[in-house]
Chains A and B, each alone.
Chain A
Amino acid sequence: MIINGPNVKRVLTTCVYCGTGCNFYFHVIDGKIVGVSPVESHPVSQGKLCIKGWKAHEFVQRSDRLKRPLIRRDGSFVEVDWTEALDYVANKFKEIKEEYGPSALGCLSSAKCTNEENYLMQKFARAVFKTNNVDHCARLCHASTVAGLTASFGSGAMTNSINEMLDSKAILVTGSNTTEQHPIIGGKIMEAKKNGAKLIVVEPRKIHLTSFADAHLRQKSGTDVPWLNSFMHVIFEEGLEDKEFIEKHLEPEPFEAMKKLVTSSRYSPENTEKITSIPAEELRKAAIMFAKNRPGAIVYSMGITQHIQGTDNVKSCANLQMILGNMGVHGGGVDPLRGQQNVQGACDVGALSNVFSGYQRVTDPAARRKMADAWGVGFEEFNDEVGLTVVEMIHAAGEGKVKGLYIMGENPMVSDPDLNHVEEALKKPFLVVQDIFMTPTAELADVVLPAASFAETDGTFTSTQRTVCKIRKAIEPLADSRPDWWIIGQIAERLGYKGCTYTHPSEILDEINRTTPIYGGITWDRIDSEEFPFGIAWPCPDEGHPGTLFLHKGGSFSRGKGKCHVCEYVPPAEEPDEEYPFRMTTGRVNPHWHTRSMTGRSPTLEREAPYAYIEINPEDAKKLGVRSNWMVRVASRRGEIVLRARVSDIVPPGTVFIPWHYQEAPANRLTIAALDPDAKIPDLKVCAVKIEVA
């Protein structure tokens, strides 16, 4: 929807920040984006935006955008034209492939890029590099969701929709600082509470949402399986489970095995209190409250997923909702809040090391045959093994096994765990970084390719509620930057493959429609039509289908029957000890987005939170002799940073919190790269640190 006036243009598009999927209008005057205004009739955002949305234009036309391709020569970057850069990149990749084989190459795709671009990147990795070493930052955030919910339900995405929360009778929010991270959704949760829903927050910190909670359980970070199992323990004890639902819709043997485990004395609230530090009585009350107020929804995010036991945490949430019969009903469900605005989409279109688009497995010959036909590639040319994931790829680069890395729109130098190791690793391979700003990752590159931002290209994003919605080009790409989809095509062509060359993103979506059953009917024209002006939610198998707002309707799961899992508690990889006595957890603040490459360049957003800081409980601060605004040195076994102290009782004694956005004091220098065995997601939420005055 582009509304043209003589001087002023309004362009309807989807926000680039979080997974809520709000829409807004860019106000464009003479090729300059001067501001943003909300969209009154959007079904989810309904005329509302958070501060990042209102100021989503601030970073777009900054003068420090990457303008021209850069090649590193004699230690510094030299501007070159596109032909030279693309030829050089293609030749280097070719050399590496010929000498070391396809497994020495890897691609990091981007949850900030469009579905079309992510589809292209995984097509490129598989058809051109001939490797499954393609992954993206979902690995760091919701990989455990995809693994856990696929195993439990057959579908690894948010089961219900955002607006349903207003009708839930109970909402259990855990590991999600919703009013700061998904503010529009947080607002709806507060409204649901105001309208009588019970709000239970299980969260170590006293986040904003806890001021409205009927119950706030403060568990130690990394002890989620125990309290989730205890919830179920109480529910079975009180006879509050939905027996009819269990009998009709859950696989009986796994259910019995899980019930046996959670009802054992090991997982009684009195016993788990010793692990979680949640008082038994409080836990009982909360569990009963949640069970007695249905339909109830579980809303969760990083606090559940970013653990060594992330997949088990997710499976336990699924267990809980299945025994309560909260699945497949309006207002119920398991609602993981996807972070990036298109991390759902990037997963959906296969930018993952183990699946093609639509979660069709690379190990499945039928899937490989399908893609071979669609892509015009020989069936034997496909790699049939699961590839390396994000953290594994970086480690492999460090060990010299991956010799060429193509990174698009990702910033592992701030986002990955154990940054000292990441830095060492990234210095070794031939590194191509494609981005819009010179990030710390781009600074290590051999070649930097300037990409167009979300305001400068057409495409689609998929929000956390599985809704595929358009973004629309508002201005021409800045200087000599080009859309990511064009760049990938150009490199592919030079490596002998024309299948990544398109003239417009709509052609790529056409191909996605043909190869991806869940996106079958989500076509370029339909998601912009009078009937569906704001997109369509998958699954949508064909063009007659209206899309699916909530999954597993009536208890009929995507996989048939729901599967419960037995989850035993596994402690975090690293817990406090005498030398490193504090439990450090990481998280975010409202005005900043992830590695802050965009929000840090937005004056209004940067002004809101310009300094890195660490939250320290007053009791701990007193013992350390530290006051607010003093600089402190925080160290773990992997590295150290210096930043300001903020003494606050938001954190409980023994726990400290650092927002991880700040490249000047990146929390990830301290975090540990211990991975969940299933999902390969790192334990970003728990590690041990020591603190002293700087």
Chain B
Amino acid sequence: MMTEAYVLDKNRLGDLVEVLKVRGEVIAPTNTGIDILYMPVSSVSEIDLSKIPLDSPKEYVFPITETMMEVEGGEITPVLESWDRVLFGLRPCDVAAFRCMLRFFEDYADEKIPDPYFIEKMKKLTVVAYNCPEPKEHCFCAAMGTGPVAESGFDLALSDLGGYYLVEVGSVKGEEILGGLPLPKASQKDISEKEAVARRCSEKMKPGFAVQGIEDVIEQSIDAVAENHGGRCIVCGGCNFFCPTCTCYNVTDTIEGELVRRERYWDSCMLQGFTWLAGMGPERATLASRMKQRLMHKLSYTKEHYDAYSCTGCGRCSQVCPSYIFMEDMIRDILGGV
């Protein structure tokens, strides 16, 4: 659904950042000297797009801990924090993941009661995607059909073409932003170069599978795969915490003097205490059963319900797993090939 594409000289990136600052708080990958983290930035000199960070930008639309409401003196006050933000340099896997989360939170039975906490943040979010010229060790977005270029879900998308960026417009808002920064139009050659870069990036990714149709074959091998890989799980929850499509949460009340605060915070279905249903037996008490639920959810159930997998091949779960359980290995084993 590409409308227009332009070119931006690399040394003019700062101009784009200035124009974006008008739209809200700019969050971008920042090199802290130790890691690259998604943090608020005030100038282009703080931005580092050289490496794909492990850090998950999910917390900017789905916070690690979020106050939902406060109760004091018999009065309930909803607390809904959201402000204008620009997520700059969002990789295509995360762009696709944000769409997954949006679909999920907008959906409620037949009545479409959206989750206001998430919806409001997404409404106020401007997305500037950055198409990856290079993959990381565990990336497999190409196999999942979500990268290495973003096809939708962004306002602007940048592609690194050497000395300059290709800037694609993905929405009316994107067009408006560029209204404040007139740029020369991109040529067909530029578009082809972008596609070439994407192809080279795809080829470097290791997986060796394409995920389409996995929902049709998953039942055959899921038990063995879940047992084989899931057996090593040490129950840290990291795969879910950092997964950009995972949205499970827990809710607690805390008391501060006269005030009661109700908060929700990141939870994980891989934790033992996550699901307790009377009479469902000890099924989810085993590591394999929880791994099975996780994989079925991401590769089958959500495909059935939303016609989209809730895995976008970002590879964070593989990176973050202390037991070296790799999502791409599990998917490959499910598909039965190597």
Contacts and interface: CB of A to CB of B under 8 A. Distances in A.
Asked whether any CB of A lies within 8 Å of a CB of B in the complex, the reply is yes
Size class of the contact patch on chain A: 35 or more
Contacts of B25: 6-7
A609 B241 CA distance: 20
Nearest to A178: B234
A184 B235 CA distance: 11
A51 B271 contact: yes
A180 to B, nearest CB: 8
B196 interface: no
A54 B241 contact: yes
A253 B63 CA distance: 65
B114 interface: no
B321 interface: yes
Nearest to A46: B319
A517 B170 CA distance: 62
Contacts of B39: 3, 5, 8, 10
Interface in A164-184: 179-180, 183-184
Nearest to B282: A628
Contact of B37 (A25, A34, A194, A610): A25
Nearest to B257: A63
Contacts of A41: 34-35
A40 B35 contact: yes
B37 A211 contact: no
Interface in A27-44: 27, 34-41
B153 interface: no
Interface stretch (A127-135, A136-144, A185-193, A671-679): A185-193
B34 A590 contact: no
B231 A27 contact: no
Interface string B204-248: 000000000000000000000000000110111110011000000
Contact of A54 (B34, B63, B237, B323): B237
A375 B117 CA distance: 57
Given A48-B238, A51-B236, A190 B267 contact: no
A484 B273 CA distance: 35
A186 B234 contact: yes
Contact of A5 (B33, B40, B252, B255): B40
Contact of A211 (B56, B231, B254, B265): B231
B34 A608 contact: no
A221 B236 CA distance: 29
Contacts of A27: 59, 64
Contacts of B69: none
A50 interface: yes
Contact of A50 (B34, B55, B236, B266): B236
A492 interface: no
Nearest to B27: A5
A188 B321 CA distance: 11
Nearest to A189: B323
Contact of B273 (A40, A187, A608): A608
A604 B263 CA distance: 13
A10 B30 CA distance: 12
A580 interface: no
Interface in B27-86: 30, 32-37, 39-40, 53-56, 59, 63-65
A224 B323 CA distance: 29
Contacts of A48: 236, 238, 320-322
Interface residues of B, number: 44
A603 B250 contact: yes
B272 interface: yes
B15 to A, nearest CB: 22
A39 B322 CA distance: 13
A63 B253 CA distance: 11
A608 B272 contact: yes
Interface string A1-17: 10101111010100000
A478 to B, nearest CB: 12
A180 B205 CA distance: 33
Contact of B64 (A5, A12, A34): A34
B33 A607 contact: no
Given A3-B30, A35-B266, A608-B273, A50 B40 contact: no
B207 to A, nearest CB: 19
B235 A34 contact: no
Nearest to B256: A63
A47 interface: yes
A183 B322 contact: yes
Interface string A43-63: 000011111011000000011
Top-9 shortest CB links A-B: A35-B64, A187-B322, A5-B40, A607-B273, A34-B65, A40-B54, A48-B322, A183-B234, A608-B273
Interface of B: 25, 30, 32-37, 39-40, 53-56, 59, 63-65, 231-232, 234-238, 241-242, 250, 252, 254-256, 265-267, 271-273, 319-324
Given A7-B25, A187-B323, 19 more contacts: A1-B34, A3-B39, A5-B40, A34-B65, A35-B266, A38-B320, A48-B238, A49-B236, A49-B320, A179-B234, A183-B322, A184-B322, A186-B234, A187-B234, A187-B322, A191-B323, A530-B33, A604-B271, A609-B272
24 contacts: A1-B34, A6-B40, A7-B25, A12-B34, A34-B64, A35-B59, A35-B65, A37-B56, A39-B35, A40-B53, A47-B54, A48-B238, A49-B236, A50-B236, A62-B254, A183-B234, A190-B324, A194-B324, A533-B34, A603-B252, A604-B250, A604-B265, A607-B273, A608-B272
